[in-house]
Structure 1
C-alpha cells in the first residue's frame, strides 16, 4: 500500500540554473556624464554666487541702458542694469538691476539709488568722469533691517552717505532765501558741514532746513549755539563809514550758514542729534544778548505813515529796544478820520544796566503786568511819547522813537488797557510840513502887490537918479580926478631924489629931530631939578647938564 501511495505521487520538478550577467558602463558614456556633472556644478555655483534682483523706479530713463549701465558704490561695480521698461502707468521708468552677491546689504529698505551724471550745484561740479565712461547708477546702503525688492530712485545725489561721522540738526527759518542743498555751513569762516535738505513746516508758515556738521566739529554745536544766514553781503552804515562783510566768496555766490556760541554762555554742553535751532537773519541779531520778556504797546497816529514797515525798529532814547509788529488803518466815527494803529513789541532788558538799576530802585517785578502798566503810566505823565521819525532820507523809511517831551500836552492814561497805549505826537516830517505850511500862509498874508508897486516906483526913481548921475555928476568927477592926477605928478617931480626942495626938506626934518631931543633932555632935567626954575643954575653944576645942544 505504502509503496503504491508513493508510486502514485507526481515527482517535483527541479530548479533550473540561471546565469546572470554583470551591468557595466560603457566608456562612451563617461564624457557626457562628466559634462553633465560639470554643468550642474556650474549651475549650482552660479546659483550660490548670484546676487539679489531689484527694481528701481526713475522719472526718466536718461542714461540707462540694459546690459550696459552699471551700479557703483564708491566707484566699485556692484551690479548691472538688465532691463529698462516703462511703468504700468507710463509715468516713470523701471530699471531691473542684478546685484552682486556681495551687494546684498543694498537691499535694505532705506538704501538709496540715483543716476550719476554731470551736475552743477551749490556743492560745485560733480559727475565729470561720466562724460567719458557714461552715466551709471550710484548707490548707498541703508541701515534698516527690513529687506525690499523695489526702490524709488533719487533725482539728485544725497549730500551725505550713511555712516559718515557727524550730527544732523534742524534749523527753522521764515524762508529759504538763497540757500540750497549743498550750501556750506561755516564755523569761524571754516566750512564744517552743509545743507542736506529743506521742506516747509507743518503749518506752511516757515521752512525747516536740515544741516549736517561733520565730526569732530559737531561737538562745537552746543545747546546755546546760534545759527545765522551769511548769504550775500552785509553792509552797515555807521559813524565810521561803510562796513562791508561777507563770509566767503562761495557764500556770496551760493549762500551759506554760520554758527557760533555767544560769549556769555560758559559751561555749555554739546547739542544732541536732531536738535532744532532758529536761523537768524544776520550775526548781530543772532549773537545779541537775550531779549527777556516782551512787552506789547499800542500806538495811534493821526497822520500818514508811508515808509513805516513791519519789522521797523523801535528806539528808546536812541537805543533799539523793539520792532513794529502790526500796522492797521482804522476809522474814527467822531472825527470822521482814518488814524493808523501801530502795534510794537519792546524788550526792556535790552536797556542793560539801566534796566537793572530801574528794577532795583523801584523794587519792580517785571512779571507783574499791572505794575508794569503803572510804571509806564508814570513815564507818560513825565512826557513819554511815541513819534514816527525818518530813518533814511534817501529811501524814506520810518522808525518809531520813544522819547520824553516835558512840554507835551498832558493826556489821560488808562493803566487797565491791554496792550498798554502810549500817546503819540506828530512826526518830524509832519512838523516840518506844518511849519512850511504856516510860513506859506504868512507869506500869502503879506501885501505883496503894494510892495511890488512901491518897489517898481523906487526902481523908476533910481533909474532917473542914475541917469542924472551919468549926465552931470560923473563928468565933474572925471575932471576932478584929472586935476588930482596933475597934482600928484607935480609932487612927484618936486620930491625927486636930485631936487633942491627934497634936500631942504631933509635938512628941516633933521633940525626938527635935534630940537625934539633937546626939549626932551630939558624936560628930564626940570623933572629932576624943578627948583632951577626959581634959583637958576647952581654954580657948581656942570654946563653940559644945563646947556642945550647947539643947532647947526
Structure 2
C-alpha cells in the first residue's frame, strides 16, 4: 500500500535493462525500478513493467515520456556516458499539463527534443524537401536560437513534408500570419547578374541543419499567433521574403538577339529595383517565316511598384491596371537584356521608359501579356562592328598592297633620278644667284661710286623740281607773260 503506481512501457529493445537493477529517474532522482520484463505476443516489442514510488504519482500521467538512457554520440552532443559507470537507466519527462492518469505508455527510441518544463508554442511547416533537418535541429530568429525542430512526417500523398517546430517564450509571439520561414542549413553561394554572394548560417546549422524565420518586411511586432500555425518553408531567405510581394503576374518578352548569360532566376529590375525573376527561357521558331525569337517568361510582382499603386490598383489585374500598362507602353516602356556583371557574364532584364523608342502595342487581354522589348545599344554596336569587320574582309587587301608596293618602287626611282640630275643643276643655279646677290650688294653699298652718282642725280632733280615750282607760281600770277614775255618791273 505504500508503493506507487505500476505502469507498463513498450520499448523496441530491452538491451541493457535488468530486472530489479535498472532504475527509473526523474531529474536525476530515483523514482522507481524495473519490476518485470517480457516480450510482446507478436515479438516486435519489449514490455517493461515499472514500479514507481508513492511520491511519483505525477509520473503516471498520460503525457509522460519514457526512454532508455544509453551512450549516444551525434552532431548535437554526447550523452549517456554515465551509464558506463552506473549502468543503463530509464529516464522520465513528466507532462505538467496532463490531468489524466494512464498505465500503458510507448517508450521513445531517442531522448525527446523538448522537455515538459519549457514554455512556448508549436508550429507546423510545409516543405517540398526535408533537406538536412532532423529532430533537434535549431530554430533561429536573426541568428539567435529560439527553438528546435520537434520532428517531421510525410503527407499521405507524399507531396510535402510536414515539420513540427517549437519556439520558446517570449519569442513565440514574434510568429504571426506574415512570418516567413526558410531552411538555414548550409552555405549558400550565389553567382548571378548581381555578382557573387556567400551567405553562411550559424556554425551549428552547418552541422545539423536549421530553420530560420523573420517577420514580413523586417518589422518586429509581437502578435498573437492563435491563427498562425501552418507555414510554408522556403529553401532560402530570398525565396521566403519574395512571398511578401503577393501573387506574381506572369509576363512574356520576345527578343530577337541572343540571351546567352540570362538564366532562370535572373532579376527583372526597374531602374535598379527588383520587380521579379526570370522563370523560363525558350526558343520560339516560326516555320512560316523561318525566324527565331527568344521567348523569356517572367514572374513580376506589381505590389513592388509602391503603396500608392497597391492602394489604387491592387495587383494591377483589373481594367484600370490594363489601361495604365497600355499608356506606359505608349510612353516608351520597354525591356532590355543587359549585362549585370562583366566578371560572371550573367545578364538580367531591365525595364525602363524610352521616350524615343519605336511605337509598339501591347495586348492586355492576352494571357500571359507580352511586353515589347528594345535591343541593347551594346548589342547594336557589336553588330555594327561585325558588319565593318565583314566589309574589311571583302576588301582586296592583297591587291591594294601590291599596287602600293609598285607605286613606292616608282617613287624611289623618281627620287633617285632627281637626286642624280636635278639636284646638281639646282646647286649650280643657286651658286649663280649667290654671285648676283653679292654684286648687287657691292653696287648698293654706301661707299660705292654708283651710290655717289645716284645721290648727286637726286640733288639736281630736287633743284629742278624747285625751279619748276617757282615758274608755275609766276605763270599762275602773270599768265600774260606767256604772250608778252616777262616785263621789266617783274
Q: TM-score range by the shorter chain?
A: 0.5 to 0.7
Matches within 5 A, 1:219-234: 219-233=173-187
Structure 2 CA distance for partners of 1:336 and 1:213, relative to 1, 3 Å: same
| Equivalent residue, structure 2, for 1:96 | 48
Structure 2 CA distance for partners of 1:304 and 1:290, relative to 1, 3 Å: same
| Equivalent residue, structure 2, for 1:324 | 278
Given the alignment, which residue of 125, 146, 153 partners 1:171?
125
Structure 2 CA distance for partners of 1:290 and 1:379, relative to 1, 3 Å: same
| Equivalent residue, structure 1, for 2:92 | 139
Given the alignment, which residue of 368, 372, 375 partners 1:423?
372
Structure 2 residue 296 is matched with structure 1 residue 342: yes
Structure 2 CA distance for partners of 1:455 and 1:262, relative to 1, 3 Å: same
Deviations 1:332-353 (A, max 9, x none): 342345644433222233233x
| Equivalent residue, structure 1, for 2:82 | 129
| Equivalent residue, structure 1, for 2:318 | 369
Deviations 1:110-145 (A, max 9, x none): 543333233344543322323333333333345373
Given the alignment, which residue of 205, 210, 215 partners 2:169?
215
RMSD of aligned Cα (Å): 4.4
- CA–CA distance in structure 1, aligned partners of residues 198 and 92 of structure 2: 43
Structure 2 residue 152 is matched with structure 1 residue 198: yes
Preserved contact between residue 388 and residue 428 of structure 1 (Cα < 8 Å):
no
SS at match of 1:157: coil
Structure 2 CA distance for partners of 1:346 and 1:230, relative to 1, 3 Å: same
Q: Note the C-alpha offset of 1:417.
A: 1.2
SS at match of 1:128: coil
| Equivalent residue, structure 2, for 1:182 | 136
- CA–CA distance in structure 1, aligned partners of residues 114 and 5 of structure 2: 26
User: Greater RCO between the two (CA within 8 Å, min separation 6)?
Assistant: 2
SS at match of 1:443: helix
Preserved contact between residue 225 and residue 261 of structure 1 (Cα < 8 Å):
yes
Matched length:
410
Q: Note the C-alpha offset of 1:457.
A: 6.2
Per the normalisation by structure 1, the TM-score is 0.60
Preserved contact between residue 181 and residue 211 of structure 2 (Cα < 8 Å):
yes
Deviations 1:20-79 (A, max 9, x none): xxxxxxxxxxxxxxxxxxxxxxxxx5xx63642524131x55444555444433233333
Structure 2 residue 247 is matched with structure 1 residue 298: no
Deviations 1:141-200 (A, max 9, x none): 45373735352x433221112352222223344444444332323345433222222334
Stretches of structure 1 lacking an aligned partner (at least 5 in a row) = 1-44, 469-552
Deviations 1:392-451 (A, max 9, x none): 444443322222344544333223212221123456786576445434422321213224
Given the alignment, which residue of 147, 157, 167 partners 2:111?
157
- CA–CA distance in structure 1, aligned partners of residues 148 and 224 of structure 2: 19
Structure 2 CA distance for partners of 1:359 and 1:271, relative to 1, 3 Å: closer
Given the alignment, which residue of 183, 204, 211 partners 1:250?
204
Structure 2 CA distance for partners of 1:435 and 1:287, relative to 1, 3 Å: same
Deviations 1:368-397 (A, max 9, x none): 622212221222223322233333444443
SS at match of 1:416: coil
- CA–CA distance in structure 2, aligned partners of residues 461 and 118 of structure 1: 102
- CA–CA distance in structure 1, aligned partners of residues 376 and 157 of structure 2: 39
Structure 2 CA distance for partners of 1:213 and 1:55, relative to 1, 3 Å: closer
Preserved contact between residue 283 and residue 294 of structure 2 (Cα < 8 Å):
yes
Structure 2 CA distance for partners of 1:177 and 1:448, relative to 1, 3 Å: farther
Structure 2 CA distance for partners of 1:204 and 1:436, relative to 1, 3 Å: farther
Preserved contact between residue 312 and residue 323 of structure 1 (Cα < 8 Å):
yes
SS at match of 1:376: helix
SS at match of 2:111: coil
Structure 2 CA distance for partners of 1:379 and 1:112, relative to 1, 3 Å: same
Preserved contact between residue 307 and residue 398 of structure 1 (Cα < 8 Å):
yes
Q: Note the C-alpha offset of 1:316.
A: 1.3
- CA–CA distance in structure 2, aligned partners of residues 371 and 80 of structure 1: 76
Structure 2 CA distance for partners of 1:81 and 1:449, relative to 1, 3 Å: farther
| Equivalent residue, structure 2, for 1:314 | 268
Deviations 1:297-353 (A, max 9, x none): 22234556454444332111221011233445555342345644433222233233x
Q: Note the C-alpha offset of 1:364.
A: 5.9
Structure 2 CA distance for partners of 1:394 and 1:135, relative to 1, 3 Å: farther
Per the normalisation by structure 2, the TM-score is 0.67
Structure 2 CA distance for partners of 1:53 and 1:368, relative to 1, 3 Å: closer
SS at match of 2:366: coil
| Equivalent residue, structure 2, for 1:491 | none
Q: Note the C-alpha offset of 1:237.
A: 9.9
Stretches of structure 2 lacking an aligned partner (at least 5 in a row) = 417-490
- CA–CA distance in structure 1, aligned partners of residues 8 and 408 of structure 2: 107
Preserved contact between residue 193 and residue 212 of structure 1 (Cα < 8 Å):
yes
- CA–CA distance in structure 2, aligned partners of residues 99 and 364 of structure 1: 70
Structure 2 CA distance for partners of 1:178 and 1:106, relative to 1, 3 Å: same
- CA–CA distance in structure 1, aligned partners of residues 228 and 38 of structure 2: 38
- CA–CA distance in structure 2, aligned partners of residues 126 and 145 of structure 1: 31
Preserved contact between residue 297 and residue 343 of structure 1 (Cα < 8 Å):
yes
Q: Note the C-alpha offset of 1:245.
A: 6.2
Given the alignment, which residue of 385, 389, 393 partners 2:334?
385
Preserved contact between residue 170 and residue 274 of structure 1 (Cα < 8 Å):
no
Bigger-Rg structure (1/2) = 1
Preserved contact between residue 5 and residue 60 of structure 2 (Cα < 8 Å):
no
Structure 2 CA distance for partners of 1:364 and 1:452, relative to 1, 3 Å: same
